[in-house]
């Protein structure tokens, strides 16, 4: 996930932060319940290799049943990964009157996190710590906030006696950060439990704050790029290091990587990115804002695209990107390398086949001794169409917590579980409800945090959004 992370650069901030709200100010029953849930789920080390996702799912299952949901409407769905590790997903159905005659709305989040080491963090990453107006801990933003907000809102609505006019469904996945096998199972094996008119993904989108804390925009994800990883490998017989040869595998690989670095995929625009550029141009100063406005009008404006190329936070919105991320090579310090391999991670623009990117990388190799292989089986998903019901609900939710904030549809340059739902025919919209400063976005990084105010505001946001979409 990542809350509007593509339009910001994550920067370290001083240890002393501006004073903000404290959790003690939020005393309503649903607020205290949310804090208890947040604290508990942060405590589960649901990173790959620790086997904690099933335990977290079981904890949440007990909460829903205690909150009045029938046993037959709460499903923990175990799944064994290729590594042998057990994970799980959780599906909860909030039954409505069916007065609307509409299919359910699905609400999505993920229970797993990227791992964090205690020795690297200022605080224990798997203990929720409140300091200086922030909640700190692994998953406070990505994405145990989403799990907590959706869970609490379901329990709150049930306690209020709310009867929706259509069914509402929660689906929490267990391996979004890795293989997304639980997500695939939810839309295939367990499709009867999750089938919906559309889905809202609490692992994407979100509000942008400037460094003074003023809201500038709210991003609603309509589409996302395809995540595809390739390996580029050079092999040769090697030999003794005292007898250098021209076809050194490491040098050959370096030449290929320099060509990949210098390659620019074609500029592309779709409905989501055009809407994003049109709206973002109005709140982005300087040459970047001007280039956005020009590109929204003319997708062939190469000069505008070249300006945005200089801004890493915007490059991914304009085209497919491929970047080298890992290296391995050689087998001894006194021997010529017999092989050298680079991992190249690509984020493929919607509508572009992954096979086309493979062909491009093979062409950049320019050497029959270089082998380019695709890892896994990445598949593209089509953008979701603009949905007026979702836009209305999101706008009303924002009016409750941050009135006047413009809603900007966008395409994320990263991948979430939403891509799998879209591919399965369920239009999906990323909207987490949280507002984040550039300097506070530490998804996957050290000392991940969410402001106290943002967390409790998001509770009210989701209450409005769910009731609006569900009706009575």
pLDDT tens, 313-322? 899 999 999 9
* Number of other residues whose CB lies within 10 A of the CB of residue 268: 17
Containing domain of residue 308, as a range?
A: 269-312
Q: How far from 460 is each of 324, 398, 402, 437, CA to CA, in Å? A: 42, 9, 11, 20
- The domain that holds 23 is classified in CATH as 3.40.630.10
In total, how many domains does the chain have?
Answer: 3
Task: Kindly tell me the sign of the dihedral angle through the C-alpha atoms of 200, 204, 205, 206.
Answer: positive
Q: Is the pLDDT score of 23 beyond 90? A: yes
Which is it for strands 134-136 and 449-451: parallel, antiparallel or unpaired? antiparallel
Same domain, 355 and 410: no
Same domain, 197 and 101: yes
Mean pLDDT of the chain: 93
Q: How far is CA 52 from the centre of its chain?
A: 20
- 344 and 325 Cβ atoms separated by less than 8 Å: yes
- My answer on whether 403 and 358 are in the same domain is no
- Across 323-341, b (16+ Cβ under 10 Å) vs e yields ebeeeebbeeeeebbbbbb
Is the pTM higher than 0.95? The answer reads no
| 47 and 135 share one domain | yes
Last residue of a domain, one of 365, 381, 397: 381
**42 and 109 housed in the same domain:** yes
pLDDT value at position 224? 92
Residues 138 and 75 grouped into a single domain: yes
Least confident of 5-9, 105-109, 383-387: 5-9
Query: Do residues 120 and 203 share a domain?
Result: yes
Do 355 and 436 fall within a single domain?
Answer: no
Q: Give the mean pLDDT of 327-353.
A: 95
Alpha-carbon span 102 to 400, nearest angstrom: 26
Distance CA 436, CA 21 (A): 14
The answer on 193 and 249 residing in a single domain is: no
pLDDT tens profile 264-310: 999 999 888 998 999 899 989 899 999 999 999 999 999 999 999 99
Section 239-255 average pLDDT: 94
- Does residue 337 sit in the same domain as residue 219? no
**Is residue 157 domain-shared with residue 255, that is, in the same domain?**
no
Identify the residue with better confidence: 25 or 3.
25
**Same structural domain, 302 and 358:** no
CATH number assigned to the domain comprising residue 248: 3.30.70.360
For position 436, what pLDDT does the model report?
Answer: 95
């Amino acid at each position: 996930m990542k809350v509007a992370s593509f339009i910001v650069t994550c920067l370290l901030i001083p240890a002393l932060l501006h004073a903000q709200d404290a959790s003690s100010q939020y005393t309503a029953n649903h607020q205290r319940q949310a804090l208890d849930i947040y604290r508990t789920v942060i405590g589960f080390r649901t990173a790959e290799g620790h086997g904690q996702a099933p335990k977290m799912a079981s904890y949440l299952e007990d909460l829903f049943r205690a909150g009045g949901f029938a046993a037959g409407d709460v499903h923990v769905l175990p799944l064994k990964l290729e590594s042998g590790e057990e994970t799980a997903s959780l599906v909860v159905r909030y039954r409505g009157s069916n007065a609307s005659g509409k299919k359910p709305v699905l609400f999505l989040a993920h229970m797993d996190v990227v791992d964090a080491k205690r020795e690297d963090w200022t605080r224990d990453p798997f203990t929720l710590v409140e300091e200086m107006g922030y909640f700190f801990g692994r998953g406070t933003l990505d994405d145990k906030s989403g799990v907590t907000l959706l869970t609490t809102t379901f329990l709150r609505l049930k306690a209020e006696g709310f009867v929706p006019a259509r069914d509402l469904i929660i689906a929490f996945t267990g391996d979004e950060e890795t293989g997304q096998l639980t997500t695939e199972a939810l839309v295939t094996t367990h499709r009867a439990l999750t089938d919906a008119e559309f889905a809202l993904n609490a692992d994407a989108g979100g509000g942008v704050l400037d460094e003074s804390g003023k809201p500038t925009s709210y991003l609603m994800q309509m589409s996302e790029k395809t995540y595809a990883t390739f390996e580029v490998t050079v092999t040769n017989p090697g030999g003794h290091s005292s007898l250098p040869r021209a076809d050194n595998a490491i040098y050959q690989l370096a030449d290929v990587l320099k060509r990949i670095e210098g390659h620019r995929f074609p500029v592309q625009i779709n409905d989501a990115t055009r809407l994003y550029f049109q709206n973002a141009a109005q709140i982005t100063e300087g040459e970047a804002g001007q280039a956005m406005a020009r590109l929204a009008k003319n997708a062939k404006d190469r000069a505008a695209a070249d300006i945005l190329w200089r801004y890493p936070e915007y490059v991914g919105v304009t085209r497919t990107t491929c970047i080298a991320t890992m290296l391995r090579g050689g087998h001894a310090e006194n021997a010529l390398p017999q092989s050298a391999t680079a991992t190249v991670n690509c984020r493929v623009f919607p509508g572009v086949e992954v096979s086309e990117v493979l062909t491009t990388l093979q062409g950049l190799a320019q050497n029959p001794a270089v082998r380019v292989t695709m890892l896994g089986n990445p598949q593209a998903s089509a953008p979701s169409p603009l949905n007026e019901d979702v836009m209305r609900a999101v706008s009303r939710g924002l009016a409750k917590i941050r009135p006047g904030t413009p809603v900007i549809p966008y395409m994320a340059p990263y991948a979430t579980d939403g891509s799998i739902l879209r591919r399965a025919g369920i239009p999906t919209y990323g909207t987490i409800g949280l507002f984040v400063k550039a300097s506070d976005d530490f998804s996957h990084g050290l000392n991940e945090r969410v402001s106290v105010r943002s967390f409790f505001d998001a509770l009210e946001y989701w209450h409005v959004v769910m009731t609006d979409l569900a009706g009575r």
